[in-house]
Each structure stands twice: as C-alpha cells, then as structure tokens.
Chain A
C-alpha cells in the first residue's frame, strides 16, 4: 500500500500509537510554551519599555538566545539533570518535565526578543496620548501593548514554532521512551530509521497541520483582542 495513503488512514482511523504521540507532543510543547510565555513576555515587554544602564547588554543576551542550538540546550539540560548534575536528585531526566524545561529554554528567547522588538518600536506619542487622556501608569502600558498585540501574538507563535518541530533537545533529555517521552519529532526520526514511512509521514502531516493551526488560532485571538479592546 502507498505509504501516503496508509499515513492518511492512520490519521483518520485514530490509530492509538499515533494519537498517543500527538497528544503527548501537544501537552509537552503547550506546557513549555506557557512557561516560556510567562517568563519571556514580561522580560521582553519590560526591557522594551524601559531604559536603564545595562539594557543593551541584556538585549544582546536575549537576542543571542535566538541562536541557541537545540542540541546544546539539550546537552546543558541533560548535564544539569543527570545524576551527577546540580539537579540530579530531582530525577527528572528522561521525563516530560525535562523536555518541557528544555523547550521553554528554547522558546523563551524567541518570545522575549520578538516582543522586545515590537514594544521598543512603539511610538512615544502613544504613551503621551494615553497619559494625556488620564491613563494611570498601568493603563498607559496596557494601551501601548494594545497597539502591538499582533506582534506579541507573533512572538508567541515564533516561540511555538521554535519548539514544536524541535528534535535534538527533546531526544537528549527525553530519551524517546515509548508511552512516556516519545513525541512527534522523535517518533518521525525513529520510524523513518525503522522503515515505517507510513507512520513517519502521518506524524509529519499532523505536525504540519498543528503548526499551521496553532498559528492561525493565535492570529485570530490577536484580532479578537483588537475588537474587545478592554483597557480600564
């Protein structure tokens, strides 16, 4: 049977193996994205909106994070979580938690850097106009962010893109254990090596659809925020 047709059959029939790997991928990458958002967005916004002495070096560090090779991040997390590492006692290596940590480290700089670039380019007259309208400090920040909300959503989308298709780091710290840490990217590598092209293609199609779907949802959310526009 044609591997592509078999892949489509696996997807449409709700094959247990495929479904299990897809759900785990979404859980791990979704959790990592949330963690990266919670850390990356405030850092990007704060550094973008304020001016202080060591700002430029800090911006350089954040931007350098964009170039982190995933395998090096994986190696770092591996060493930290390995039995001899500083967090070895937590016994997190080869668990979803380790994968979430590694992916958050990869996505965080993307979210921080893209949101920083968006926020620092907000024209100063927006803050002036907001204050002239009687906005408090917090309200003025919200009103400024409202004008770059699409860019902030793009920052999150960039972070998601950085982790959903990543394989090196999750392979190193997750170990690709069936039923525990196997996600779509590691499954594609494994199944291709085994010659199970139908399963690999099925995972690949789903991965592409998820990447497109999540970006579409994030953009729609951005537009809806525009309409609601609650600031007070």
Chain B
C-alpha cells in the first residue's frame, strides 16, 4: 500500500521492549488520509508507546514507521512538520496561554503577528479566546486540555495524535472536549490517531478502531465490525458483552457451533471444535423476551429458553433483568416492553437470541 492508496502513516513489524518487557509488538497498523483511528485498550496495553513510535518520538527496537511512503530521517522531519500531539498530561511552559498556543508556530519561525492571529482564530474556534492573556497556571483541567488542543490545531497538522486527551477530565468537560475534537477534526479533514481506554470515545468518534491488548493488536475494524464480531473475549467484554452462558460444543460447522448448556442448547458464531468448553458472549439488548407460554415443540428450537426474573433494575427508560433458566442470563429491555410483559421479580419469560448475536469463545481464552 502506498500514498496513492490513501495510506498516510504506517507501522510494520513494530516492537518496543523496556527492561526485558515487550511493551508493543504490532505487525501492521495504518492511518489513512482523513480518517480517525482509535486505538483502544486497557491501561498498560502499550497504547501510549505505540503512539510515540508512530509519531516518531521514539525509535522502535524493530520494525519501521512510514509517512507518505517514506521512512527514516526524511520521514521523521516531514512528519514532525505535518503533525501535532496532544498528550494525556500535556506540558505547558510557565507563561501565558497565548505563549503556549503559539509556541509550535514560533519554533517553526512563523512571524509573531501571524502567530498571534492564528492562535486567536483557533482559540475562538475552541471557545477559549478569553483565556489568551491568562497565566497557564490558572487554568482548570478542562481549559488546559483545550489549550493543548489549540496548541496542536494551530499548527494545522495533517495528522493529529491524541493520547487520552480526555482521561483526566470530569464528565462534562470530557463530553464537551470530545464534541469539539470531533467537530474540529472533521471540519479540518485532519487525520486523527486517537489513544483511549474509553470504549464510548473510541466507538463514538472513530472511523476505525484498533483493539490493543498486551502490546498486540487484537482486532482492527469499523466500530460496527468490532461490535458485531468481536475477535476475542476481551474485545467482546469491553464492547459490552455478557458471558453468563457456558457449555460444551456438540457440533461445529462453517463458523457456527452448537453448544450444550445442560438441558438446552444454543447455536452461536464460533470456531471451536467439538468437545471444547466454551463461553458465549452476548449483548443484553440482543436477547428478546416474550410470554412464557411457549409450545413445548418450540422449546426444542435452538436459542429459546424459559427463565425466571431474579432481579429487576430500572435504569431510566431501560430495565436490566437478571434471569435464571438453564443458565443465568442478563437482558436489557425498554421500560414499555418491561411493563407490557410484567417482568417483575419471579415472573417467567421466554428468552430468544439470534445465533448471529451469540459468539462462542473457547473457555480457556477467557
């Protein structure tokens, strides 16, 4: 793949080791022109290291980073001129907001008047122009992160590297900044490489999501692809799946498995072989509840069980139910549906699930 295919930044065979511990080992990762790629994973997954490698702020022990098809020093120089980074804990120099926002321009030799005009314009876009004369030490966490974003955007970068920019903010500030990030990045058609451990941030903002765990890329795809077809237990869990169903594969055929859960069976997507103990991932909202008076013949139909409501938790317009049938199940229904079905504690309901909504993973992998 090269620049002509829309590839802007690429990493191949990247490996970084700290004190004998491999922090990052990524075969291939790509950022395309104009896209927002979110690298999502738990703390310690190697996300920030991966960002530093791709931003060419740190050299890998193995592998290569390419920018617009070039590598080495020329690529590093070009990338430095065409990119900006917002760190989770950005450093600000003890001076005014204006000094800090214009610092990158000053380093690039941009005349002072132009630097001031550009700083003001970008600060207006981020609604922080009133802070320009303020000392940096007087900013709140949210304001500081906006200043860091302004300092990056004022450089008009082709690539914006964002390392958990909202991690240390309160909920309101986080949502505001996330909104601004998306708006400004889309307006400017900037390619964004976003590091986050926030599932909502990754899946809401990004065109593509790369799931990183233990320094390795587990899965890369659109949020929809990852949501619908998680590659492993971790990805399924972080995308909101429940794992209360477990059993043994009794039949495996073309990426579908039949799982005996003791008294009933479920058909699910999966590649485990017959006899393998598996756990089935499902999303509570994918379970369909109905009246319990199901004909006996239908009960033999796969993916249908009758269960008793053990716990009901109202969550605004939604109701979360813990059900006990052949296995424990967790379902999420609308308040209207819950009222219609009368799903109070002790009520019996029929529970259906489409086979394509269930993902079986070998139990050992969890």
Contact = CB atoms under 8 A, between A and B. Distances in A.
Given A139-B107, A231-B107, A232-B106, A134 B155 contact: yes
Given A132-B87, A134-B80, A134-B155, A147 B93 contact: yes
A42 interface: no
Interface string B148-189: 000100010000010000000000000000000000000000
A88 to B, nearest CB: 51
Interface stretch (A27-35, A123-131, A151-159): A123-131
Identify which of A128, A136, A139 gathers the most chain B CB atoms within 10 Å of its CB.
A128
Contact of A129 (B81, B91, B108): B91
Interface in A192-232: 226-227, 229, 231-232
A229 B99 contact: yes
Interface in B65-123: 80-81, 84-85, 87, 89-91, 93-95, 99, 103-104, 106-109
A123 B151 CA distance: 20
A167 interface: no
A129 B109 contact: no
A85 B321 CA distance: 95
B91 A134 contact: no
Contacts of B99: 229
B347 interface: no
A24 interface: no
Given A129-B87, A132-B57, A229 B95 contact: yes
Contacts of A125: 87, 89, 91
Nearest to A143: B93
Contacts of B106: 231-232
Contacts of B52: 128
Interface in A137-155: 139, 143, 146-147
Contact of B107 (A123, A135, A229): A135
Contact of B57 (A131, A147, A227): A131
Given A232-B107, A232-B109, A132 B95 contact: no
B226 interface: no
A84 interface: no
Query: In the complex, which range does the number of interface residues on chain B fall in?
Result: 20 to 34
B95 A226 contact: yes
A54 interface: no
A229 B87 CA distance: 22
Nearest to A136: B107
B81 A132 contact: no
A133 B87 CA distance: 11
Identify which of A135, A226, A232 gathers the most chain B CB atoms within 10 Å of its CB.
A232
B55 interface: yes
A55 to B, nearest CB: 20
A139 B93 CA distance: 13
Interface string B192-219: 0000000000000000000000000000
A147 B107 contact: no
Given A147-B93, A229-B93, A134 B87 contact: no
A139 B57 CA distance: 15
A126 B107 CA distance: 15
Nearest to A128: B57
Contacts of A147: 93-94
A134 B107 contact: yes
B361 to A, nearest CB: 39
Given A125-B87, A229-B99, A232-B109, A133 B104 contact: yes
Identify which of A129, A134, A232 gathers the most chain B CB atoms within 10 Å of its CB.
A134
A134 B104 contact: yes
A143 B104 CA distance: 11
Contact of A133 (B89, B95, B103, B109): B103
Contacts of B84: 132-133
Nearest to A150: B94
Contacts of B80: 131, 134
Interface of A: 123, 125-126, 128-129, 131-136, 139, 143, 146-147, 226-227, 229, 231-232
16 contacts: A125-B89, A125-B91, A128-B57, A129-B90, A129-B91, A132-B161, A133-B84, A133-B103, A136-B107, A139-B107, A143-B93, A147-B94, A226-B94, A226-B95, A227-B95, A232-B106
Interface of B: 52, 55, 57, 80-81, 84-85, 87, 89-91, 93-95, 99, 103-104, 106-109, 151, 155, 161
Given A123-B91, A129-B91, A131-B80, 11 more contacts: A125-B87, A128-B91, A132-B87, A132-B161, A133-B151, A134-B81, A134-B107, A134-B155, A229-B93, A231-B107, A232-B107
